[in-house]
Structure 1
């Protein structure tokens, strides 16, 4: 039961509306508005702080049961947080203290849990992982991964699985084996991607373990027999191929020249298709491709450097007028 003296000083909505900042008389006789702090008589530790700008802020002050120091936390302005609501929050904090739980630390844990529950959703976790992966992969590879994981997200939506920590090993094997029916090579890639994705999720706290860490790919997927094209070892056949490429008049000038360049430049198809004029120095007869555009993106390695032969220079110079009319800077 509240004492009479407490009843008299008890906070009410009417009293709060009339609360003003404290007026302090300075040494020169001038007046200055300063913070006015009023404690609630119902909930120990609950304060209403009236600031010089007349904003009224709810605070809770207490001695931490774990750190043993004085702490304070605020939870909104009046009237956005009503007197009744402030007392409910204050009472909750008193109950936490009675159980040796620090209210501020408890709030941090609650927010962390909410954050994990949001980011730990499969779709959010995949998008976060893909964003990180994009920093170390080529644009083409990233697009491929994104398409594959669009399938993954759709699969789990159909399975009604929302969070990463809800995924079971059975779900992963089902995902991989269903994809294998229509795209065996993609399923093989997905096995590796899934492993890296779960490593990321374990690091972030979205799940406790990498489900396929100790699983062998060949135990989940049927190994596909790969038929490699035989290399050309017969000099006459190689000559015939070169003559065919140089005499070919079908297709655009870009295709004709790309086929010729394949014979002279030791580049991956992706690098060849995305060459830009700015990479070529005709005066020094060199090709320099930024390291970020190469498959190996180690920043400690220099940009890819390649001296150009007379044949390559001739191929590009012979059609430079046609290329200069292109709208973008890519050599197409």
Structure 2
């Protein structure tokens, strides 16, 4: 009968020296320390599978990261599984597979996958990704989407609410809800707990973009723009904001490749539009003239309004608002976005254009009598006339001509 080896001690493990060939130092109950010629020391446990009785080996870790005490604890855990008829090796494989599946179906993985499929304008994509990276992933990013609950999403929103970012909190939770719907569609979750949070976060204060709707006051603004002494491209952006009343982001991201001066058209691709539908902007004579003057300055680059620091980036999103402030128009009087409200109000209430023509030109969602969305060329002849009429009206206001009084609407 072979002599039973004494159990290892911490000092014998520490002092074990490598030899020309690997050798084993037994500790008892099937566990031993394997010492390799390169000096590495690995804990191993030999056992027999519960059904087949075949011998197998289980790795328990490497020394010194796994101490003698910890290796023994792992051995006893494995022996307990074996006593219950469970193969410790197969159990480990199953745990690893489950962990990999959990990682592959974590909220962050699913969210990044969903974000990669969105066709947002770049500046909005950057904003959403920053929200998720700063306010969501650190808290629930590693959690499997199938296990997330409404209170976990609520805590995400509450953290943002407590620092005063109420509007952003609503947008972040809306994005989380979209990610969860994608998780359901791809078979990685059964329900969307974000839907249970309706009313749980304080509503943001209603925000209106300040806009001038008095024709006489608008005339003063147009004269201030004409006399603007700042950057030439910024003045052109101000002029086109008034003439075309597109969204500020659409204007500053305008590219020369989208503009056909001969046809007097600006074709904005769907990826740059809020409603994700391509939009056609008829260019009035005044807009074409401004673009012709601007082309020698920026026409060699991509953007009609390039940034001041790099021509490969568009103008700053604050450039137009900053110019308005420089001219003396405060945030409570006029904003870059306010040119849209200005045009909508005066075209309807002063000049009497059909509301559906105006809504089309504003790129709002407008449907035909059958409930289908109109295409980008709907009412194009009428919209061309309206845009030219609007430009001529602005010229008259800037020159200080008579303004048409507001009509009293029926009802």
Tell me if both proteins adopt one fold, taking TM over 0.5 as the criterion.
yes
Q: C-alpha displacement at 1:320, in angstroms?
A: 1.9
Aligned residues: 216
Q: 1:319 to 1:213 in 2, by over 3 A?
A: closer
Larger relative contact order (Cα-Cα within 8 Å, sequence gap ≥ 6): 2
Map of 1:308 onto structure 2: 283
Structure 2 contact 131–172 (Cα < 8 Å) conserved: yes
Q: Of residues 147, 152, 156 in structure 2, which corresponds to 1:171?
A: 152
Map of 2:224 onto structure 1: 244
1:1-24 superposed Cα distances (whole Å, 9 cap, x missing partner)? xxxxxxxxxxxxxxxxxxxxxxxx
Q: Quick one: distance in 1 between partners of 2:160 and 2:175?
A: 14
Map of 1:142 onto structure 2: 125
Partner secondary structure for residue 318 of structure 1: helix
Residue 197 (1) aligns with residue 179 (2): yes
Q: C-alpha displacement at 1:232, in angstroms?
A: 2.5
Q: Quick one: distance in 1 between partners of 2:274 and 2:210?
A: 25
Structure 1 residues 126-275: aligned runs within 5 Å: 126-132=111-117, 134=118, 136-151=119-134, 152-156=136-140, 162-182=143-163, 183-216=165-198, 218=199, 220-229=200-209, 231-250=211-230, 252-275=231-254
Q: C-alpha displacement at 1:329, in angstroms?
A: 4.4
1:238-278 superposed Cα distances (whole Å, 9 cap, x missing partner)? 1111111111112x222111111101113111110111111
List alignment gaps of at least 5 residues for structure 2: 1-48, 54-93, 307-411
Structure 1 contact 280–287 (Cα < 8 Å) conserved: yes
Partner secondary structure for residue 306 of structure 1: strand
Q: C-alpha displacement at 1:91, in angstroms?
A: 6.2
- RMSD (Å) for aligned C-alpha atoms: 2.9
Q: 1:231 to 1:325 in 2, by over 3 A?
A: closer
Q: C-alpha displacement at 1:304, in angstroms?
A: 2.1
Q: Name segments (4+ residues, structure 1) moved above 3 Å.
A: 109-116, 328-331
Q: C-alpha displacement at 1:325, in angstroms?
A: 4.9
Q: Quick one: distance in 2 between partners of 1:268 and 1:246?
A: 21
Q: Of residues 92, 103, 109 in structure 2, which corresponds to 1:124?
A: 109
Residue 296 (1) aligns with residue 275 (2): yes
Map of 1:101 onto structure 2: none
Structure 2 contact 150–197 (Cα < 8 Å) conserved: no
Q: Quick one: distance in 1 between partners of 2:131 and 2:178?
A: 14
1:84-126 superposed Cα distances (whole Å, 9 cap, x missing partner)? xxxx9x969xxxxxxxxxxxxxxxx999967632321232122
Greater strand content: 1
